[in-house]
Amino acid sequence: MKPADADQLTLTLEPMGKRVDVAPKTTVLQAAQEAGVDVMAVCGGMGTCGMCKVYSVSGKFSPVSLIEQEQLTAADLNKGLRLACEAQVLSHCTVLFPPETLATLQRLQLEGMQTATTPEPCVVRLKVDLSGISKSELDRAVDRILAEVHNTHGSVITFSDHLIPQLSKLLEENELELSLAVNDREIISVLPPDSRLVGYAVDIGTTKIAGFLVDLTTGQTLASVGATNPQIAYGEDIINRIKFANENPQGGKILQAILVQTVNSILEELRLLGNVSRDQIVDAVMVGNTAIHHMLLGLPVKPLGTAPYQTPATQSMVIHARDIGIMIAEGASIYLPPNIASFIGGDHVAMLLSTEARNRGGTILAVDIGTNTEISLINNNRHYSCSCASGPAFEGAHIREGMRAIPGAIEKMLIDGEVTKVKTIQNKPAIGICGSGVLDAVAELRRERLIDARGSWNRDDPRITMRGGKSQFVLVDAKGSGHGRDIAIDRNDINQIQLAKAAIRSGIEVLLQHAQTAADEVNLVLLAGAFGTYIDVHNAVEIGMFPRIPLERFQQVGNAAGSGARAMLISTASRRAAEQLVGQIEYIELMTEGNYTDIFMKAISFD
């Protein structure tokens, strides 16, 4: 993106995806405040509170100041941390604010449709009572335990050395009674007799991560926490992250490390909320798109982003959590469901599982909208899936006044004659527009005939104004906004929405074509993902993102991938169902469809 004038520099503020044009030597804090981003700056930028920490991701900043050397540790500085009030912008730059630096957090959709799943976990509890043995026999406790487990469990079980120190301590503290967490191969954890057995389910999206702590015996969700995927600083979409991994010798390692770090931070927060120890977390399930899956495991991602788009790992996997540094019980494993293809992964499988899309009968369209959108069409016992690069526009990126869904973002808007009404998240003064707001704005502009079917302005309408030689429509003027500048939408913004909605619509059309069925034959449209939850479906149909299917056939199901991950966490049957399901899917690669370009070009129009 080019700066507005030659002297201006563009600073990209992540994770909110906000771009600001600033003069050289502007501090990151000044830029963030000007953009309406609430940064923790208790000392008002004096360099004394140390709260405005920010990662310098790319570009040139002023050298580390003496104040920063005092406030930050050598380890902080090595990680690229700076103080926002000290670091000055000297070129086009990107920074990433860690969650603790932001006073307001992004709205994340954690909950989703969940069908009842009977708990039947992989890891079960075995109570052991050694109260019959004398204290002198305690040295043989491991033998006694293994014999008892063998009797009740009937299979060969290993007992890792790391559990031995814990074992003696717990036997002494609990009058020779214990609970063991056991899977079919291994004793994973040794716990006090009545400890809850808990699992960790994680849905890792391109932009957001949702983590859940679940009681493995009852299936109850004990706590849920969301965070922004920190990889965003290395590429807003997956293609750019794959590029980063390929072009930098340590790229893959960096992407893996920051992801693992965030998955562990979410876990820490969940442990505090759920009041459970690390040893109690004896199983985990992680779902994500195929590239995220590979990055998490440290697998090569190059084949995913290069023709002929091979997928190194499609099978379901069980790995030791400790092998990738996930801080659950030392002996615990992580289950990862199978991937479908290079751009359609276990998160879509999880979504299909939790919504029971395949068991509903009739023709079902299941759409998980994100930076990458996965679509399934189930018709006449056939199941077609494709993935489309809808891009980050629905996250507010590449939109001039766009931002992610944080307080103050316009999430809904309506044009009523001369008056424009907006609704912001948490009713805070408007500082930008998030995805659902931009979609509403484009639908309203079209309804009011302020733009034509191609997205071009009707310049005869006095509501269209000019700024810097470009036509625009002002949603909130400078007086009414939270940062003292107009919030407007321009032709480029409309174009970004056209591209994003055309990507989704053309994916749907290709699948309908394969199924040889028409849109009005679709009985149910399941819309998943945060954006899918908050959009006005009527407006989405109006701008042509979806075919003209009656609105009552749409169902917004929230974070269904997270629900599917939880189902697979508590149920081995759900894991097997996920594996079977993948075998029945016919993956359609859009780029190899002969008439794809024609379908896409048609889908760009607002007709």
Q: Where does this chain bind ligand FES (CB under 6 A)? A: 41-43, 45, 47-52, 83-85
- Read off the amino acid at residue 478: A
Q: Which is nearer to ligand FES, 41 or 349 (CB)?
A: 41
* Contacts with 272 (C-beta within 8 Å, 6 or more apart), sequence order: none
- Kindly state the DSSP code that residue 310 receives in the 8-state scheme: -
In whole angstroms, the minimum distance from the beta carbon of 75 to ligand FES comes to 18
Examine residue 15 and say whether the peptide bond preceding it is cis (omega within 30 degrees of 0).
yes
In whole angstroms, the minimum distance from the beta carbon of 53 to ligand FES comes to 8
In whole angstroms, the minimum distance from the beta carbon of 133 to ligand FES comes to 60
* Contacts with 72 (C-beta within 8 Å, 6 or more apart), sequence order: 50, 53, 64, 81, 82, 83
In whole angstroms, the minimum distance from the beta carbon of 23 to ligand FES comes to 20
In whole angstroms, the minimum distance from the beta carbon of 485 to ligand FES comes to 23
In whole angstroms, the minimum distance from the beta carbon of 29 to ligand FES comes to 6
In whole angstroms, the minimum distance from the beta carbon of 70 to ligand FES comes to 10
Q: Which is nearer to ligand FES, 84 or 388 (CB)?
A: 84
Q: Which is nearer to ligand FES, 42 or 551 (CB)?
A: 42
What residues are paired with 524 via a beta bridge?
364
Distance CA 360, CA 353 (A): 12
* Tokens standing for residue 128: 């052991």
Examine residue 308 and say whether the peptide bond preceding it is cis (omega within 30 degrees of 0).
yes
* Tokens standing for residue 449: 């005939």
Q: Which is nearer to ligand FES, 7 or 70 (CB)?
A: 70
Q: Which is nearer to ligand FES, 45 or 251 (CB)?
A: 45
* Tokens standing for residue 401: 């006044």
Q: CB-side exposure of 363: number of CA atoms within 13 Å? A: 15
Q: Which is nearer to ligand FES, 43 or 103 (CB)?
A: 43
Q: Which is nearer to ligand FES, 101 or 316 (CB)?
A: 101
Q: Which is nearer to ligand FES, 54 or 433 (CB)?
A: 54
Kind and range of the H or E run holding 143: helix 141-153
CB atoms within 10 A of CB 521: 13
In whole angstroms, the minimum distance from the beta carbon of 28 to ligand FES comes to 10
In whole angstroms, the minimum distance from the beta carbon of 32 to ligand FES comes to 11
Asked if residue 284 lies in contact with residue 332, where contact means CB atoms within 8 angstroms, the answer is yes
- Tokens 């499609």 locate to 314
* Contacts with 347 (C-beta within 8 Å, 6 or more apart), sequence order: 203, 204, 205, 287, 288, 289, 292, 368, 374, 561, 564
Asked if residue 67 lies in contact with residue 90, where contact means CB atoms within 8 angstroms, the answer is no
Distance CA 355, CA 359 (A): 9
Asked if residue 152 lies in contact with residue 246, where contact means CB atoms within 8 angstroms, the answer is no
Q: Which is nearer to ligand FES, 28 or 378 (CB)?
A: 28
